[in-house]
Amino acid sequence: MGITLCVVGLGLIGGSLAIDLQRCAFASRVIGVDNNVTHQEEALKLGLVDEIMTLDEAVWLADLVVLAIPVNAIIQTLPKVLDLVSKDTVVTDVGSTKFPIVDVIKSHPKRSRYVPSHPMAGTEYSGPSAALKNLFQEKVSIICDKENSDEQAVDLVERMYRALYMDLLYMGAKEHDVHAAYVSHISHISSFVLANTVLEKEKSTKAIFDLASGGFQSTVRLAKSSPAMWTPIFLQNSANLLEVLDTYIEQMQEFRDLIADGDREELRKRMEEANRIRKVLG
C-alpha cells in the first residue's frame, strides 16, 4: 500500500517526482499544491497529480510532503509546513542550497520530522510541461545532516529516492553548499554569462542561429534555465560562489593574457590540465 504524497511546486522537479512516484506505486495518492492556477490545471491535465489542494489541506492529509519550489520560497514555506504537520508526517525539500534552509528551522520543535535533501537532476526547462519520466534514474541524491532527523523520517525519504533508482550520498548542509557551488552553480553562471556575451558581441542573431555548433549549444544550454529558480540559489550560496567565481575570473584573465602573449607552451599546459576532467568524469 503506497503512501499519500504531497508535492508543493508542480514544475520540472516536482512534476517529475510526482509522475515516477505514482508509476512505481511508492505513492498511492499524489496531492499537488501550486500557487499558479495555470500550473495547477496543466498538472492535472498531464496526470502529474491526482488532485490539487491548498497547502493546509494537503499537508494535513500527507504522509510525506516534498517542497519543490524555488529556495527563497522554501525558506518561507518550510516553517509553516512544520507548524502544520502531525507527528507522523515527514517533510523534505529538493532545493539546490541546504545550509540557509536548515538554518531557518534549526530551532523548530518539529525539526526532526524534516529531512534536507537535494536530488541532483534536472534540465534547462521549467514548469509542469517540463516534467519527465525517469529524470532521476541513476543520478545522485544528497541527504544532509541526517543525525538531526528522526530515523523513521530519514528512512522514508531514502525509500522515496531508492524508488526513483537514485544513489544516495550523505553530508553536512554546509559541505553540500560548497560542493554545489563548485560542481553545479558555477556551471550555470558560466553559461548565463556566455549567452549574454555572445548576444552582446554577435550583432547577427542569424549568424548565431546558423553557426551555433554542438559545442556552443552544449556550453550555453544552461543559459535557458529559469531565473526565478536560480536567482535565490545564487544569493543563498553567495559566500561559496564568490570564492569560486573569483578563481574563475582570475583563471580566465590568465588564459586571456596567455593568448595575448602568444604563449603556446603555457596555453597547451593549461589545456592539458583541463583535460584531467576526463578522468574525473569517468
Query: What is the rounded distance in angstroms from the CA atom of residue 229 to the CA atom of residue 105?
Result: 21
Q: At what angle do helices 238-261 and 264-275 cross, to 10 degrees?
A: 140
- When asked if residue 76 is in the footprint of a second copy (CB under 8 A), the reply is no
- When asked if residue 179 is in the footprint of a second copy (CB under 8 A), the reply is yes
CB 111 within 8 A of CB 105: yes
Query: What is the rounded distance in angstroms from the CA atom of residue 177 to the CA atom of residue 180?
Result: 5
Using the minimum distance from each CB to a second copy, give the nearer residue, 107 or 275: 275
- When asked if residue 224 is in the footprint of a second copy (CB under 8 A), the reply is yes
Draw the binding track, 92-111, toward a second copy (x: CB under 8 A; -: no contact): --------------------
- When asked if residue 1 is in the footprint of a second copy (CB under 8 A), the reply is no
- When asked if residue 180 is in the footprint of a second copy (CB under 8 A), the reply is yes
Query: What is the rounded distance in angstroms from the CA atom of residue 274 to the CA atom of residue 263?
Result: 17
The only residue of 139, 150, 172, 174 in contact with a second copy, by rule CB under 8 A: 139
> Which 8-state DSSP code applies to residue 198?
H
E runs forming strands in 95-251: 114-120, 140-144, 167-171
Compute the least distance from the CB of residue 72 to a second copy, in Å.
9
Residues with Cβ within 8 Å of residue 230, at least 6 apart in sequence: 188, 192
Nearest to 116 by CA among 151, 154, 87: 154
- When asked if residue 83 is in the footprint of a second copy (CB under 8 A), the reply is no
- When asked if residue 271 is in the footprint of a second copy (CB under 8 A), the reply is yes
- When asked if residue 182 is in the footprint of a second copy (CB under 8 A), the reply is yes
The only residue of 61, 130, 140, 163 in contact with a second copy, by rule CB under 8 A: 140
- When asked if residue 276 is in the footprint of a second copy (CB under 8 A), the reply is yes
Query: What is the rounded distance in angstroms from the CA atom of residue 108 to the CA atom of residue 130?
Result: 34
CB 137 within 8 A of CB 165: yes
The only residue of 55, 104, 163, 186 in contact with a second copy, by rule CB under 8 A: 186
Using the minimum distance from each CB to a second copy, give the nearer residue, 45 or 268: 268
Q: List the interface residues with a second copy, window 106-135 (CB under 8 A).
A: 120-124
Q: List the interface residues with a second copy, window 238-267 (CB under 8 A).
A: 238, 241-249, 251-253, 255-256, 259-260, 262, 264, 267
